[in-house]
Amino acid sequence: MTELLSDLRVIYDLHSHTTASDGELSPDELIDRAIEKQITVLAITDHDTTAAIQPAKNYIAEKNLPLTLISGVEISTLWENIEIHIVGLQIDIEHQAITTCLAKQSQCRETRAKMIGERLAKAGIAGAWEGASALAKGGQVTRGHFARFLVNEGHVASVNKVFKRYLAKGKTGYVPPQWCSIGDAVTAIHQAGGVAVLAHPGRYGLSSKWLKRLVLYFKQQGGDAIEVAQCQQPPQEREQHATLAQAYDLKASLGSDFHRPCSWIELGRNLWLPGNVEPVWTLWQG
Ligand code: AMP
Ligand code: MN
Ligand code: MN
Ligand code: MN
């Protein structure tokens, strides 16, 4: 009976990354892992790119796998000088509104990556831009790639420490990015037929007053949903985010933000929504 129930369970994971940005699994490998973890509906949401979507779709079709893929993206934006991530779900990846927006974002990434390299060089770390670009293998170059390069080269012991010492806001290698606004991201997502989700609201280091301000602003810009559930989050955060979703009439999303196999984050793990919210997928399932 338990087995039967678990077989019938629909597991959604609406936030994940591949090698198209700073994830470490290729689209095919991510799909294989999602199948292994019995995910039913998976969104691939790489940073400012949809390059993994078509290869993932092809792989699912070729192997005839029991997985629904949601075409997604995670767009970097700036609000009050804070970097806020907006996830787009169910987008038409070929729509000009989204391709134009993402082309600009990629350009910003390239410029910023070169500048990060220059700053790190001044701090005595040579070849960081080349190293990060090589690790990105043609995908979007992120601070994650710089962090990996610095760890691989023995400059710093861990990725987390690289951020603390070099890449976090205000540190030597930090370059203020030129991301689009929240409104620009929401508009591009909507024009491409998608749903706009405020990603991981608990990870911006905001006080509860500022978080409410952000959620209100996002709603005013036409935002549709907020991420309520992640696989690892502080106690009570899920309920707090559910309350915010209710208060601002937003749907609720959930996602692991999977980047790589590790012991604390896994596709589909611990992803469920409190009963007082409406799931984001009602927007496309009706
Ligand atoms: P970027 O979009 O280039 O600014 O890079 C941001 C990415 O770096 C995030 O999506 C995370 O994957 C990663 N990241 C940010 N902060 C940290 C941190 N403190 N430790 C490890 N990874 C981080
Ligand atoms: Mn990332
Ligand atoms: Mn993010
Ligand atoms: Mn993410």
The candidate with the shortest Cα–Cα distance to 231, out of 9, 16, 10, is 16
Q: Is 159 in the pocket of ligand 1 (CB under 6 A)?
A: yes
Task: Give the pLDDT score at 66.
Answer: 97
Tell me which ligand sits closest to the C-alpha of residue 202: 3
Task: Give the pLDDT score at 2.
Answer: 52
Task: Give the pLDDT score at 9.
Answer: 85
Task: Give the pLDDT score at 113.
Answer: 98
Q: For residue 4, is pLDDT > 60? A: no
Question: Percent of the chain, pLDDT > 70?
Answer: 97
Task: Give the pLDDT score at 286.
Answer: 74
Q: Is 145 in the pocket of ligand 1 (CB under 6 A)?
A: no
Q: Is 268 in the pocket of ligand 1 (CB under 6 A)?
A: no
Please name the residue whose Cα sits nearest to atom 11 of ligand 1.
144
Task: Give the pLDDT score at 11.
Answer: 97
- The Cα-based distances of 243 to 35, 171, 196, 236, 281 in angstroms read 32, 35, 19, 11, 18
At 28, list the tokens.
């095919």
pLDDT digits (tens, 9 = 90+) for 123-141: 999 999 999 999 999 999 9
- The Cα-based distances of 201 to 99, 208, 214, 248, 269 in angstroms read 26, 10, 9, 14, 19
pLDDT digits (tens, 9 = 90+) for 5-16: 555 689 999 999
At 93, list the tokens.
């990846």
- pTM of this structure: 0.96
Q: Is 17 in the pocket of ligand 1 (CB under 6 A)?
A: no
At 150, list the tokens.
């610095």
- What's the angle, vertex CA 202, arms to CA 254 and CA 182, rounded to 5? 80
Q: What is the Cβ-side half-sphere exposure of residue 276, based on CA atoms within 13 angstroms?
A: 12
In sequence order, the 6+-apart residues with CB closer than 8 A to the CB of 202 are 230, 233, 234, 237, 241
In angstroms, what is the span from residue 60 Cα to ligand 2's centroid? 24
179 secondary structure, DSSP code:
P
Q: Is 77 in the pocket of ligand 1 (CB under 6 A)?
A: no
At 154, list the tokens.
């023995």
Query: Ligand 1: which of 19, 22, 106 to mutate, judged by most atoms within 8 Å of the beta carbon?
Result: 22
Q: Is 165 in the pocket of ligand 1 (CB under 6 A)?
A: no
Euclidean distance between CA atoms 88 and 90, whole angstroms: 7
Please check whether residue 50 is in contact with residue 17, taking contact to mean a CB–CB distance below 8 angstroms. no
Q: Is 21 in the pocket of ligand 1 (CB under 6 A)?
A: no
Please name the residue whose Cα sits nearest to atom 18 of ligand 1.
160
Tell me which ligand sits closest to the C-alpha of residue 199: 3
What is the average per-residue pLDDT within 242-257?
A: 98
pLDDT digits (tens, 9 = 90+) for 161-215: 999 999 999 999 999 999 999 999 999 999 999 999 999 999 999 999 999 999 9
At 122, list the tokens.
């001044």
Q: Looking at 80-141, which runs of residues are DSSP E strands?
A: 82-89
In angstroms, what is the span from residue 2 Cα to ligand 1's centroid? 39
What is the per-residue burial (b if ≥16 Cβ within 10 Å, else e) of 100-124?
Answer: ebbebbbeebeebbebbbebbeeee
pLDDT digits (tens, 9 = 90+) for 21-54: 999 999 999 999 999 999 999 999 999 999 999 9
Task: Give the pLDDT score at 3.
Answer: 54
Return mean pLDDT, the chain. Answer: 96
Tell me which ligand sits closest to the C-alpha of residue 48: 1
At 60, list the tokens.
């699912």
Alpha-carbon torsion 202, 204, 209, 212, what sign? negative
Task: Give the pLDDT score at 5.
Answer: 53
Query: Left (φ > 0), alpha (ψ -120 to 50) or beta: where does 175 sit?
Result: beta
Q: Is 47 in the pocket of ligand 1 (CB under 6 A)?
A: yes
How many other CB atoms sit within 10 Å of the CB of residue 208?
9
Euclidean distance between CA atoms 78 and 50, whole angstroms: 20
In angstroms, what is the span from residue 1 Cα to ligand 2's centroid? 39
pLDDT digits (tens, 9 = 90+) for 50-68: 999 999 999 999 999 999 9
Residue given tokens 């994650």 in the structure block: 144
Please name the residue whose Cα sits nearest to atom 16 of ligand 1.
163
